[in-house]
Structure 1
Amino acid sequence: MKAVTLGPTGTYSHRAAKTVADEVEFRESVTAIVAAVGDEFERGVVPIENSIEGSVTESLDALAERDVSVVREVVTPIRHALMAQSGNFEVVASHSQALAQCRDYLEREYPDVEQEAVASTARGVERAREDPRVAGIGHPDNAESPDPDGTDLEIIAEDVQDRTSNATRFLVVAPESERSEAGGKSTLIVYPNANYPGLLLELLEAFAERDINLSRIESRPSGERLGDYLFHLDVDASLYEERTKRAVEEIEGIVSEDGWVRVLGSYDTEHAL
């Protein structure tokens, strides 16, 4: 099986993708990953939520724009290390989420060092190999160059994330035809295309009245007009359960004729180191 995720080699996304597929290729954006599923790749692996910084909005938006399914969730702990060619550096480069996850550490230890957001943690480490003025933040395993003739980096500090409980959820995306109704969790996206007092309460009551726990609800701009939103919902129930079917049917009845409900599927959670 071939999967696509955020590159280059050594990203946390890459570590998650290796639990899914033997062959892993890379793209520079989540949008490109989701777009490639079905046409070029059997699976895509995208970050969806971090325990410190919250949801990855690009992933939410990409899932709302494409007809795909979610077939698995991979949760991996995040261990950030600060790596450079020496202790003398002027810039720290990493993914914007990683920089945010290490905000307190960087402000305390390196308040005068410039921060540079790049496409991934591994790309930040590559910048550090290329430029002695740059340090990277990423997994400590990336300090050793994969190229025998490449530059190994010094680990300046380990576990520089602001909370030791730091972890990220990744969703494994597949073609829409592979959507499953079996699994401990389900994800759906609701676009009501309406706005009136009590709308959100109606959506939530469809699950509460059936004793279905909502483990996550997030609103995102629809892109249609200012103040218009769609909702991403994670529920702790399988789609094959009668109560879940009835809840989805009620949601479909609530949205307007021009609205929609996209069910991404049910799936189980895997923990990967």
Structure 2
Amino acid sequence: MQTVTLGPAGTYSHRAALAVADDGDIAFAESVRGIVDAVADGSASRGVVPIENSIEGSVTETLDALADTDLAVVREVVTPVKHALIAQSGNFDTVASHSQALAQVRTFLDENYPDADREAVASTARSVELAREDATVAGIAHPDNATGDLQLVAEDIQDRTSNSTRFFVVAPPEDRSDAGGKSSFVVYPNANYPGLLLELLEPFADRDINLSRVESRPSGERLGDYVFHVDVAAGLYEERTQAALEEIEAIAEDGWVHRLGSYDVEHVV
């Protein structure tokens, strides 16, 4: 059962995927869209995509891909983010990493390397590759990536020690489950009027269902038109969740509701 995630090897996505792929069969894609498409067309059985970071918030590329594609969310993996500055030496001109990683160490860089150029690249692991190829470049990645000619210039440089990232494990729609302690939905009401968002949230509040995340994204149809991503602390197997969704589907009768599925949460180091 092949699992695909963001590559190359050594990314935080790769570390999360190692907890999912029991057989170690992991392939890499260069984008979230590539991961989602691989699962959708049957090239991979599972995909591991970042959904939210505790500092930088939701990963919009993932939100948009889940709204556009009929896939199931079957697990959530949470992993702590421990950033290190990795280079051939302490002398470098450029700090490279994924844009989110650069944002997560902004204070450290401002205080210690204010004159260094900052370059956003496809992944934290790609920044390590650049540092290995070029002595003038330092990468930001997990400290385990400091191998060979590379050294740890600084460790634990993230702005907040509580930094962690949530990953969704996506699967073909036939693997969607009603069992689990959390559930995720994508709601497109195809409407815009005062009180719409309140109407969409009240069915959960009325049934004492905790909303763990609500996110809006442009629908792409017209200005001011939105798709809503909702996570709740309840399973689809529960009658209260089913009842709430029935109300929401009635409100969104001119649009649609995607039930991504229910799942449990796993924490990995």
Q: Give the TM-score normalised by the residue count of structure 1.
A: 0.96
2:27 is the counterpart of 1:31:
no
Cross-structure match for 2:232: 235
| 8 A Cα contact 1:4 1:33, kept in partner | yes
2:242 is the counterpart of 1:255:
no
Distance in 2 between residues matched to 1:24 and 1:99, nearest whole Å: 26
1:115 deviates by 0.4
For 1:205, give the aligned amino acid: E
1:256 deviates by 3.6
Distance in 1 between residues matched to 2:36 and 2:100, nearest whole Å: 19
| 8 A Cα contact 1:75 1:167, kept in partner | yes
Distance in 1 between residues matched to 2:52 and 2:16, nearest whole Å: 13
SS of 1:92's equivalent in the other structure is strand
1:173-188 to 2 correspondences below 5 Å: 173-188=170-185
Cross-structure match for 1:155: 152
Cross-structure match for 2:192: 195
Cross-structure match for 1:10: 10
Cross-structure match for 1:79: 82
- Aligned counterpart for 1:52 among listed residues 39, 50, 55: 55
Distance in 1 between residues matched to 2:180 and 2:49, nearest whole Å: 19
SS of 2:44's equivalent in the other structure is coil
Aligned length: 266
Deviations 1:11-46 (A, max 9, x none): 000000011112101000001101110420000000
Cross-structure match for 2:115: 112
Distance in 2 between residues matched to 1:240 and 1:170, nearest whole Å: 22
1:159 deviates by 0.3
- Ranges of 4+ aligned residues in structure 1 off by more than 4 Å: none
For 1:157, give the aligned amino acid: A
Cross-structure match for 2:100: 97
Cross-structure match for 1:212: 209
SS of 1:37's equivalent in the other structure is helix
Deviations 1:48-99 (A, max 9, x none): 0000100011010111110000000000000000010111100001000000
1:154 deviates by 1.2
For 1:10, give the aligned amino acid: G
SS of 2:115's equivalent in the other structure is coil
Distance in 2 between residues matched to 1:20 and 1:88, nearest whole Å: 38
Distance in 2 between residues matched to 1:2 and 1:239, nearest whole Å: 27
SS of 2:183's equivalent in the other structure is strand
Deviations 1:198-234 (A, max 9, x none): 1111111010001110000000000111111010000
Distance in 1 between residues matched to 2:263 and 2:241, nearest whole Å: 14
| 8 A Cα contact 1:194 1:256, kept in partner | no
For 1:30, give the aligned amino acid: V
Which sections of structure 1, spanning at least 5 residues, go unmatched?
146-151
1:100 deviates by 0.3
Q: What CA RMSD, in Å, does the superposition of the two structures yield over aligned residues?
A: 0.7
Cross-structure match for 1:222: 219
For 2:266, give the aligned amino acid: E
SS of 1:163's equivalent in the other structure is coil
2:268 is the counterpart of 1:272:
yes
Q: Give the TM-score normalised by the residue count of structure 2.
A: 0.98
